[in-house]
Amino acid sequence: MVPKFRAWDKKTKEYFHISELWNSGTNPECFNFDGWTDNFGNEGRLKDIVIEQYTGLQDANGDDIYENDLVLLDPDDQPYLIILNEGKFELSSDYLGLVYDLGEEYMDCEIIGDVHTDGDLIDR
Listed by start position, the domains of the chain span 5-122
* Alpha-carbon gap, residue 121 to 85, rounded angstroms: 21
Radius of gyration of the chain (CA): 16
Residue 80, pLDDT score: 93
Type of residue at 111:
I
What pLDDT sits at residue 29? Answer: 46
Q: CATH: 2.40.30.10, 3.30.450.20, 2.30.30.290, 2.40.40.20. Which one for 5-122?
A: 2.30.30.290
In this predicted model, what pLDDT tens digit does every residue of 34-91 receive, in sequence order?
A: 555 655 566 666 667 888 999 999 999 999 999 999 999 988 888 999 999 999 999 9
